[in-house]
Amino acid sequence: KLAHYEIKGDSSRELISQMAKLGPIDQSEGRHFQGNTTWAVRWGFGIVGLPSGGCRLDDIKIDLEVLMTLPEWTPKRHADQRLVQAWPHFIANLTGHEMGHRDNGVRAAFAVRDAIAGIAPMADCQQLGAAANAAANLALNRLKDADAEYDRETDHGAKQGFQLP
Protein backbone atom coordinates (compact mmCIF):
# COMPACT_ATOMS: atom_id res chain seq x y z
CA LYS A 1 0.00 0.00 0.00
CA LEU A 2 1.12 3.53 -0.71
CA ALA A 3 0.05 6.50 1.38
CA HIS A 4 0.91 10.17 0.97
CA TYR A 5 0.95 13.15 3.26
CA GLU A 6 0.63 16.63 1.82
CA ILE A 7 3.33 19.24 2.20
CA LYS A 8 3.24 22.88 1.14
CA GLY A 9 5.90 25.45 0.49
CA ASP A 10 7.87 27.29 -2.16
CA SER A 11 11.41 26.63 -0.93
CA SER A 12 13.55 23.72 0.22
CA ARG A 13 13.56 25.12 3.73
CA GLU A 14 9.74 25.16 3.84
CA LEU A 15 9.44 21.62 2.47
CA ILE A 16 12.04 20.24 4.85
CA SER A 17 10.23 21.91 7.73
CA GLN A 18 6.88 20.50 6.58
CA MET A 19 8.31 16.98 6.28
CA ALA A 20 9.85 17.28 9.76
CA LYS A 21 6.44 18.23 11.19
CA LEU A 22 4.06 16.17 9.05
CA GLY A 23 6.13 13.19 7.95
CA PRO A 24 5.35 9.72 9.22
CA ILE A 25 6.59 8.82 12.67
CA ASP A 26 8.97 5.90 12.86
CA GLN A 27 7.64 3.90 15.82
CA SER A 28 11.05 2.52 16.76
CA GLU A 29 12.65 5.98 16.93
CA GLY A 30 9.59 8.04 17.83
CA ARG A 31 10.31 10.87 15.40
CA HIS A 32 9.17 12.15 12.02
CA PHE A 33 10.93 11.18 8.82
CA GLN A 34 10.45 12.23 5.21
CA GLY A 35 9.18 8.75 4.35
CA ASN A 36 8.51 5.52 6.15
CA THR A 37 7.83 1.90 5.28
CA THR A 38 6.41 -0.67 7.64
CA TRP A 39 5.75 -4.33 6.99
CA ALA A 40 4.09 -7.21 8.76
CA VAL A 41 4.29 -10.93 8.02
CA ARG A 42 1.44 -13.25 8.95
CA TRP A 43 1.18 -16.97 8.32
CA GLY A 44 -1.20 -19.84 8.49
CA PHE A 45 -1.16 -23.55 7.71
CA GLY A 46 -3.26 -26.62 7.84
CA ILE A 47 -2.41 -29.85 9.58
CA VAL A 48 -3.44 -33.14 8.01
CA GLY A 49 -3.27 -36.63 9.40
CA LEU A 50 -1.11 -39.23 7.74
CA PRO A 51 -2.40 -42.74 6.98
CA SER A 52 0.52 -44.18 8.91
CA GLY A 53 -0.26 -41.96 11.90
CA GLY A 54 1.05 -38.56 12.86
CA CYS A 55 0.56 -35.30 10.99
CA ARG A 56 2.12 -33.07 8.38
CA LEU A 57 1.73 -29.42 7.47
CA ASP A 58 -0.43 -28.52 4.51
CA ASP A 59 -1.68 -25.40 2.74
CA ILE A 60 0.98 -23.01 4.05
CA LYS A 61 -0.02 -19.38 3.50
CA ILE A 62 2.17 -16.34 4.02
CA ASP A 63 0.80 -12.80 3.96
CA LEU A 64 3.03 -9.73 3.70
CA GLU A 65 1.52 -6.32 4.23
CA VAL A 66 3.65 -3.31 3.36
CA LEU A 67 2.74 0.34 3.93
CA MET A 68 4.97 2.99 2.35
CA THR A 69 4.30 6.64 3.22
CA LEU A 70 5.80 9.44 1.12
CA PRO A 71 5.38 13.21 0.85
CA GLU A 72 3.24 14.73 -1.87
CA TRP A 73 4.02 18.27 -3.00
CA THR A 74 2.33 20.31 -5.68
CA PRO A 75 4.52 23.27 -6.65
CA LYS A 76 2.94 26.71 -6.48
CA ARG A 77 3.43 29.43 -9.06
CA HIS A 78 6.19 31.07 -6.98
CA ALA A 79 8.09 27.90 -6.10
CA ASP A 80 11.86 27.94 -6.51
CA GLN A 81 12.49 26.51 -10.00
CA ARG A 82 15.57 24.61 -8.84
CA LEU A 83 13.33 22.90 -6.29
CA VAL A 84 10.68 22.12 -8.91
CA GLN A 85 13.35 20.51 -11.10
CA ALA A 86 14.95 18.61 -8.20
CA TRP A 87 11.71 17.26 -6.70
CA PRO A 88 11.26 14.25 -9.05
CA HIS A 89 14.84 13.13 -8.35
CA PHE A 90 14.30 13.60 -4.60
CA ILE A 91 11.11 11.51 -4.64
CA ALA A 92 12.71 8.81 -6.81
CA ASN A 93 15.64 8.47 -4.38
CA LEU A 94 13.40 8.57 -1.31
CA THR A 95 11.19 5.90 -2.87
CA GLY A 96 14.28 3.84 -3.66
CA HIS A 97 15.33 4.02 -0.02
CA GLU A 98 11.86 3.00 1.15
CA MET A 99 11.89 0.09 -1.32
CA GLY A 100 14.92 -1.19 0.60
CA HIS A 101 12.69 -1.44 3.67
CA ARG A 102 10.04 -3.21 1.57
CA ASP A 103 12.71 -5.66 0.42
CA ASN A 104 13.45 -6.49 4.06
CA GLY A 105 9.77 -7.41 4.48
CA VAL A 106 9.89 -9.62 1.40
CA ARG A 107 12.99 -11.38 2.73
CA ALA A 108 11.22 -11.90 6.06
CA ALA A 109 8.15 -13.37 4.35
CA PHE A 110 10.29 -15.85 2.41
CA ALA A 111 12.26 -16.74 5.55
CA VAL A 112 9.03 -17.49 7.43
CA ARG A 113 7.73 -19.57 4.51
CA ASP A 114 10.96 -21.56 4.33
CA ALA A 115 11.03 -22.09 8.10
CA ILE A 116 7.50 -23.47 8.18
CA ALA A 117 8.00 -25.58 5.06
CA GLY A 118 11.09 -27.13 6.65
CA ILE A 119 9.16 -28.66 9.55
CA ALA A 120 9.05 -32.45 9.20
CA PRO A 121 5.92 -34.49 9.96
CA MET A 122 5.43 -35.38 13.63
CA ALA A 123 3.54 -37.94 15.62
CA ASP A 124 1.73 -35.29 17.65
CA CYS A 125 -0.35 -32.76 15.66
CA GLN A 126 -0.33 -30.14 18.43
CA GLN A 127 3.44 -30.30 18.69
CA LEU A 128 3.67 -29.94 14.91
CA GLY A 129 1.63 -26.73 14.98
CA ALA A 130 3.67 -25.37 17.88
CA ALA A 131 6.93 -26.25 16.11
CA ALA A 132 5.81 -24.53 12.90
CA ASN A 133 4.85 -21.34 14.76
CA ALA A 134 8.08 -21.38 16.75
CA ALA A 135 10.13 -21.78 13.55
CA ALA A 136 8.23 -18.91 11.90
CA ASN A 137 8.72 -16.63 14.89
CA LEU A 138 12.42 -17.47 15.07
CA ALA A 139 12.86 -16.67 11.36
CA LEU A 140 10.99 -13.41 11.79
CA ASN A 141 13.00 -12.43 14.88
CA ARG A 142 16.25 -12.97 12.99
CA LEU A 143 15.18 -10.29 10.51
CA LYS A 144 13.45 -7.85 12.85
CA ASP A 145 16.51 -5.62 13.11
CA ALA A 146 17.07 -5.49 9.33
CA ASP A 147 15.31 -2.14 8.93
CA ALA A 148 17.21 -0.49 11.78
CA GLU A 149 20.50 -1.78 10.37
CA TYR A 150 19.56 -0.56 6.88
CA ASP A 151 18.84 2.92 8.26
CA ARG A 152 22.16 2.93 10.14
CA GLU A 153 24.05 1.92 7.00
CA THR A 154 22.32 4.55 4.82
CA ASP A 155 21.95 7.25 7.51
CA HIS A 156 18.18 7.02 6.95
CA GLY A 157 18.80 7.37 3.22
CA ALA A 158 21.00 10.48 3.38
CA LYS A 159 23.86 8.48 1.86
CA GLN A 160 21.56 7.50 -1.02
CA GLY A 161 21.35 11.01 -2.43
CA PHE A 162 17.92 12.31 -1.62
CA GLN A 163 18.46 15.89 -0.59
CA LEU A 164 16.79 19.05 -1.76
CA PRO A 165 18.73 22.03 -3.18
Nearest to 31 by CA among 43, 44, 21, 17: 21
The reported pLDDT for the residue numbered 76 is 83
Q: What is the pLDDT of residues 9-25, one digit of tens each?
A: 999 999 999 999 999 99
Q: What is the pLDDT of residues 32-83, one digit of tens each?
A: 999 999 999 999 999 999 998 999 999 999 999 999 999 999 988 889 999 9
Residue 159, amino acid: K
Q: Is the pTM of this model over 0.85?
A: yes
Instruction: Compute the distance between CA of residue 154 and CA of residue 160 in angstroms, rounded to an integer.
Output: 7
